[in-house]
Structure 1
Amino acid sequence: MATFVVKPIVPDFVGEISDFPIHAIDEQLAADLRKAWTTYPVLRFRNVPMGDAEQVALTKALGPIFLTTNVQHGRREDSPEIFVIANKKNPDGSPMGDLGDGEVQWHTDHWWIEKPPSAALLRALEVPPTGGNTYWANMYSAYSALPESMKARLRGLYIHHQDVLDISGAPRCGKEMPTSEDFATWSGVDHPIVVRHPDSGKPCLYLGASRERQAIVGMKQDEANKLLEQLWRHATSPAHVWHQEWKPGDMMIWDNRCLLHRRDQFDPQSVRLMHRTTAGGERPVAAL
């Protein structure tokens, strides 16, 4: 029976798997992987012969394929499951992928939809000599470290995640700018601030993204702004963060339901080429 070993990097947060038997995936191996991923919401794979087909197969072991919707240049016609993240150009000069070389702010993927994805898998094909690192913030430990008074305050609170503007502040496809500056009136979805993870059963913060354009349901905007600022500052403090310095061939799996992530900028004269796949998830459920 095929097996693998997880080496802890950060207990209950980040683990590393080497020599994973990628060509021997069956129901038992998939179940073992999901169990390991529940313990370590960030998993790094090294020394694993991984191509697009293997990455797609590994994604399907974690859940149904989720096709990323906010794609401009990174869709692969021959493999629609793959989302290309790159600053590299095609031979005709057009962008090979999305997200360029700039900084990407803290976020949870597809936070503005009813059922955000569960898993993201990102594989490095080419990496710059410096920069382009990826950072994850652990929302389990962020919630656990809150004072009891704050935990009580968050009981029953929901963030209204508007779906009009993306993380850069640009309108999403087909969306028009509302006339009101009250974000609570914008179209979007409400998700609990504290959710219960469907696999681990543990509570964690769920903050989404675009902090400057969020509202809290039933709360005045000024009060909501102060509370959100406090939560974001706490959740992304160094005590809860780990970062990956990429090597070619590295692949990271992370749990979108209990983490935030972001990316460093890097020299636009260097190349960063990544292939990403995503697994579908469930609607976040309140833990409190």
Structure 2
Amino acid sequence: MTRLTKHGQSRSVAVDIRRISYCVLSSTIAEDGIRSAAMEIEQLAEHLGARVHGLTLDDSLTDSQFADLHRAFLDHLVLVVPEQHLRPHQQLKLARQFGEPEPPHPLFPAHPDEPQVTVIENDADSPPENDTWHSDVTWRRTPPLGSILQAQVMPATGGNTRWTSMYAIYDALTDEDKTRFESMRGVHSIETFAGSLNDSEDGGRVREALSKHPPVEHPMIRTHPETGRRGLFVNEGFTTHIADIDTGESERILSRLWKMVDDRQFRVEVEWSPGTVVIWDNRCTQHFAAADYYPEHRRMHRVTIIGDEPRMVAH
């Protein structure tokens, strides 16, 4: 695995992972007549993750530059763009190029100037609460397409985020498992996560979220709507069990899959600095935000993009 350090250098931690850099050059001219500048994409790990050089994500991003960025997003699943320092309205504008931003999160606080910008903040009085592998909001019928997360305040040490490729994990399944899982559906619920929050401090938002969002079922194998690739679509954070099979068998299958999700060979790790932006595809990845910095202060701004209902398309 290769990870991004706070000083903007890539440090190899496994000799079998390739580091590849290549340039993406726009072949079209933007509407304003300015040709998109060269954008360098540095691959960070074998299955996902790339650092973007030569691009500023503020209001000056042209259509042709965004086309390059979107292509890299589909290819690498997780894009790390350092030293951006976007204002909330700029982060929201960038998200709108990918799709429609989601309304305010039902449980996390919203930014006072831009309600669609979620503030994720932890310190001594507010410990991290979701220190587990998950894809965001799979407890809804239509989970997000992806998110744009920017670091605002970071602890002196710790607070890294890991992502894993659900494409790669699907590819690593046995043929028997692939065939079997095609007909299975996972049950996803907000209950476990909501139960970790303090309802009295949240003004009843936990009870409201539970009443509005009953458990939903999604296919265990999801076909990506843009790339057509298949990925595993269950996660430890929100998948409670597999529908219509014995409880013990469900637990055995999911326990085995959680071990695969935590396997280092499928993942990339990002070490944040203030101003670093990460854009990721929630449809084919999971992430894990390490809580090892507590009780230090960590503040992030996130914009999440509306997605579609997960489906499995037959070959």
TM over 0.5: yes
Q: Is the 8 A contact 1:119 1:254 kept in 2?
A: yes
Matched, 1:63 2:102: no
Q: 1:17 — aligned with what?
A: 52
Q: How many correspondences in the alignment? A: 270
Change in CA separation of 1:168 and 1:7 when aligned onto 2, cut-off 3 Å: farther
Q: CA deviation at 1:134?
A: 0.5
Task: Report 1:122-133 matches (<5 A).
Answer: 122-133=149-160
Q: Secondary structure at the match of 1:105?
A: coil
The code of the aligned residue for 1:126 comes to: V
> Residues of 2 paired with 1:265 and 1:166: CA distance?
15
Give TM-score scaled by structure 1 length: 0.85
> Residues of 1 paired with 2:165 and 2:210: CA distance?
34
Q: CA deviation at 1:88?
A: 5.0
Could you list the runs of 5+ residues in structure 2 that have no partner in the other structure?
Answer: 1-34, 200-205
Matched, 1:140 2:167: yes
Q: 2:87 — aligned with what?
A: 51
> Which of 184, 187, 199 does residue 226 from structure 2 map onto?
199
Post-superposition CA distance 1:33-83 (Å, at most 9, x none): 2111000100000233522222111111111101243334x2123211211
Matched, 1:174 2:211: no
Higher mean alpha-carbon deviation, 154-163 vs 189-198, is at 154-163
Q: Percent identity?
A: 25
Post-superposition CA distance 1:91-136 (Å, at most 9, x none): xxxx7xxx73456211110010011011111111111111111111
> Residues of 1 paired with 2:146 and 2:41: CA distance?
18
Could you list the runs of 5+ residues in structure 1 that have no partner in the other structure?
Answer: 90-94, 178-185
> Which of 227, 238, 262 does residue 253 from structure 2 map onto?
227
Post-superposition CA distance 1:117-164 (Å, at most 9, x none): 111111111111111111111101111011112112212111011344
> Residues of 1 paired with 2:288 and 2:171: CA distance?
22
Q: 2:36 — aligned with what?
A: 2
Q: Secondary structure at the match of 1:34?
A: helix
Q: Secondary structure at the match of 2:193?
A: coil
Q: 1:180 — aligned with what?
A: none
> Which of 231, 234, 240 does residue 266 from structure 2 map onto?
240
> Which of 253, 256, 280 does residue 254 from structure 1 map onto?
280
Q: Is the 8 A contact 1:215 1:221 kept in 2?
A: yes
Q: Is the 8 A contact 1:134 1:243 kept in 2?
A: yes
Q: Is the 8 A contact 1:19 1:48 kept in 2?
A: no
Q: CA deviation at 1:19?
A: 3.2
Q: Is the 8 A contact 2:104 2:115 kept in 1?
A: no
Q: Is the 8 A contact 2:149 2:302 kept in 1?
A: yes
Q: CA deviation at 1:176?
A: 6.9
> Which of 258, 263, 269 does residue 289 from structure 2 map onto?
263
Change in CA separation of 1:280 and 1:191 when aligned onto 2, cut-off 3 Å: same
Q: Is the 8 A contact 2:187 2:218 kept in 1?
A: yes
> Which of 55, 58, 64 does residue 28 from structure 1 map onto?
64
Q: 2:202 — aligned with what?
A: none
> Residues of 1 paired with 2:136 and 2:171: CA distance?
22
CA RMSD of aligned residues (A): 2.4
> Residues of 1 paired with 2:69 and 2:142: CA distance?
22
The code of the aligned residue for 1:123 comes to: Q
Matched, 1:215 2:241: yes
Q: 1:75 — aligned with what?
A: 110
> Residues of 2 paired with 1:85 and 1:206: CA distance?
25
Give TM-score scaled by structure 2 length: 0.78
